Amino acid sequence: MDEDRSITEAASLINQAKCLVAFSGAGVSEESGIPTFRDPGGLWDRFDPYELGGGDIFSAMFRGSGIPRSAVDFVSEMVSVLERASPNPGHLALGELEGMGILRSVITQNIDNLHREAGNTLVIEVHGNLFRLACLVCGNKIYLGREELFSMGRKLVELMRESDLQGIIGLVSRCACGGVCRLDVVGFGEPVQDMPLAISEARGSDLFLILGTSGAVYPAAYLPEHAKKAGAKLIEINATGCYFPDIVDIGIIGKTGDVLPRVVDRVKELRR
Residue 159 or residue 226: which is nearer to ligand APR going by CB?
226
Q: For residue 123, give the H/E element and its range.
A: strand 123-125
Residue 47 or 96: the one with the smaller Cβ distance to ligand APR is 47
What's the CA gap between 93 and 114, in Å, rounded? Answer: 12
Bridge partners of 103, per DSSP, are 20
Which residue's beta carbon is nearest to the bound ligand APR?
27
The sign of the CA dihedral 187, 191, 196, 202 is: positive
Q: Name the residues annotated as catalytic.
A: 127
Cis ω before 219 (30° cut-off from 0): yes
Give one DSSP letter per residue of 134-196, joined into a string. Answer: EETTT--EEEPPHHHHHHHHHHHHHHHHTT-HHHHHHH--B-TTS-BEEEEEPPTTSPPSSHH
Q: How far is the CB of 42 from ligand APR (least distance, A)?
A: 5
Q: How far is the CB of 212 from ligand APR (least distance, A)?
A: 3
Q: Identify which of residues 12 and 240 has a Cβ nearer to ligand APR in the complex.
A: 240
Closest CB to ligand APR among 62 and 218? 218
Closer of 6 and 109 to ligand APR (Cβ): 109
DSSP string, 184-199: EEPPTTSPPSSHHHHH
- Report helix, strand or coil for 7: helix
C-alpha 48/C-alpha 58 separation (Å) is 15
**CB of 238 vs ligand APR, minimal distance in Å:** 4
- Which of helix, strand or coil describes residue 208? strand
Compute the least distance from the CB of residue 107 to ligand APR, in Å.
12
CB of 95 to ligand APR, least distance (A): 17
Q: Which chain residues interact with ligand APR by CB under 6 A? A: 25-27, 30-31, 36-39, 42, 109, 127, 212-214, 216-217, 238-240, 243, 255-257
